[in-house]
Homo-oligomer: A and B are copies of this chain.
Amino acid sequence: MSSTGKSDHSSPGEFELIAALQRRVERSRQCDDIVLGIGDDAAVTEFKTGQQVLTTDTMVDGVHFLRDRADWKDIGWKSAVSNLSDIAAMGAAPLHALVTLGVSPDVEASYVERMYDGMISAFDEFGGCIIGGDVVYSPVFFVTVALTGRAHEIEGEPVVMRRDRAMPGDLIGVTGTLGGASGGLRALIDGLEGADADALRSMHYRAKPRIDMGTALIEGGVRCAMDISDGLVADLEKMCGSSDVGAVIDSASVPIPAELERQFGAEATEIALAGGEDYELLFTAPFDLMDRLLARHRGKISHIGRIIETPQEGDIVEVRDAEGNLMSLERKGWDHLQ
């Protein structure tokens, strides 16, 4: 069974499919460190002494997307981006991807090729090359990407941003804006029309991993970060749990796309607090460092709250409104399609 681009159910159709995927991958590939790509028991790559970062992420039909309602290219894009975002959150640079497809006979080869096109376009834009994978039969379609990266180095020493390094007194920052992807999903489900709804839908389908900002933050001195995939409050809770601290969010400071505000009005803030899949970065930094970062990356990062000692009672993450009153959220994180 197994391995890189081989099928374990060797129908002629699957061999052709793998050959077609292989051609697509090789046409696009920018990496010069691949010794052996798709087609052997394993892929082989060159690696220079340093630290390697490894992540994996899976999307299942009916859980993370609905294949009948999505463009296969967008499914591919998102399966690459969710992994690239993990690499960005470490402050690392993407290297090599293994792609596993679980396909049933009703998944046509052209769908899978289109999905690969979406995946490849994300890797081409943000770094990383597909070097192998596996195609198996599965009654439910799924795609698993495993992605490696190279840890950033400062003066020859590898460094990464971890989620367990938040300290009481640190300020909390985020990159970009929040809520666009979630607003886009709502625009999609509710069939909203107009330019704002279109822009939000595009944020949902084409979220971008913040590879550049990950590098900028780690270069700037940040050592605590994660990506926002489940929603700001839900993910900040995870960071607080890992770091054994609490947090206060000033909801009026949470950056929101203008389209979200125009489309959803007063509800926009809640969408931004709870909505997932924006793939922006959440990070913490001491006051002076945050000050320098805000000055250096004006418009690209926002200061949205602060880290405190773990509260004796109540939520680990408090959300305050513009008057400083405690807000109560109906839901803390966007649970994808569930």
Tell me the complex Cα distance, A146–B97, Å: 10
Q: Which of A87-95, A257-265, A290-298 contacts B (4 or more CB under 8 A)?
A: A87-95
- Judged by a CB distance under 8 angstroms, whether A335 is at the interface is yes
* Residue in B41, B148, B242 whose beta carbon sits within 8 Å of that of A226 in the complex: B41
- Judged by a CB distance under 8 angstroms, whether A174 is at the interface is no
A151 touches B54 (CB 8 A): no
* Residue in B2, B131, B151 whose beta carbon sits within 8 Å of that of A86 in the complex: B2
Chain B residue with the shortest CB-CB distance to A7:
B230
A44-B151 contact given A9-B336, A132-B55, CB 8 Å threshold: yes
Total number of A residues with any Cβ neighbor in B under 8 Å: 80
A229 touches B51 (CB 8 A): no
Copies in the complex: 2
A40 touches B8 (CB 8 A): no
Hey, which chain B residues are within 8 Å of A36, CB to CB?
A: 160, 162
A98-B55 contact given A47-B50, A229-B2, CB 8 Å threshold: yes
Q: Which of A114-122, A137-145, A196-204, A301-309 contacts B (4 or more CB under 8 A)?
A: A137-145
A2 touches B44 (CB 8 A): no
B64 touches A139 (CB 8 A): no
A4, A40, A131, A234: most-surrounded residue (chain B CB, <10 A)? A40
B48 touches A49 (CB 8 A): yes
Tell me the complex Cα distance, A132–B147, Å: 12
Q: 24 A–B contact pairs at CB < 8 A? A: A1-B64, A1-B230, A2-B82, A8-B229, A9-B338, A10-B230, A10-B234, A40-B226, A43-B53, A44-B52, A44-B53, A44-B151, A46-B52, A47-B50, A54-B131, A54-B132, A54-B148, A56-B100, A56-B134, A59-B136, A63-B137, A98-B146, A102-B142, A142-B142
